[in-house]
């Protein structure tokens, strides 16, 4: 398994658009990516424009395939990422299960 976290630093005035895109993305991931085991979006309690995505993939091929899906390209790359000031990704491997 691989855990990927992504911090989204949303541009002022675009939070609702980003959240709408992420809701749509979650629906598509749930419908078309069985090896994505978790797709969760969190909002910072302290900074309204800071989101944290928590995604768990069964393996490396599932993670790589996610980035090649039509919904990743049409929703995230085309509509969501342009509304961000920055995004920071981190990857984790399980150690104690």
pLDDT tens-digit map of 23-65: 999 999 999 999 999 999 999 999 999 999 999 999 999 999 9
Give a yes or no: residue 20 inside a domain: yes
pTM for this model (two decimals): 0.93
CA distance 69 to 25: 11
**In the chain, how many domains are there?**
1
Question: Which residues constitute the domain of residue 73?
Answer: 2-92
Give a yes or no: residue 97 inside a domain: no
**Residue 88: pLDDT band by 50, 70, 90 thresholds?**
very high
Task: Identify the three-state secondary structure at position 93.
Answer: coil
CA distance 93 to 25: 24
Q: Find residue 86's DSSP bridge partners.
A: 9
Cα–Cα–Cα angle for 60, 65, 66, rounded to 5 degrees? 100
What's residue 12's pLDDT?
Answer: 97
DSSP string, 11-40: PTT-HHHHHHHHHHHHHHHHHH-TTEEEEE
Give a yes or no: residue 87 inside a domain: yes
Give a yes or no: residue 80 inside a domain: yes
Give a yes or no: residue 43 inside a domain: yes
What's residue 97's pLDDT?
Answer: 78
């Amino acid at each position: 398994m691989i855990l990927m976290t992504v911090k989204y630093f949303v541009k002022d005035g675009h939070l609702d658009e980003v959240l709408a895109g992420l809701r749509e993305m979650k629906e598509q991931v749930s419908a078309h990516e069985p090896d994505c085991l978790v797709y969760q979006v969190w909002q910072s309690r302290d900074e309204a424009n800071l989101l944290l995505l928590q995604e768990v993939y069964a393996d490396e091929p599932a993670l790589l395939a996610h980035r090649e899906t039509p919904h990743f390209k049409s929703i995230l790359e085309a509509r969501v990422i342009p509304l961000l000031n920055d995004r920071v990704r981190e990857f984790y491997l399980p150690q104690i299960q």
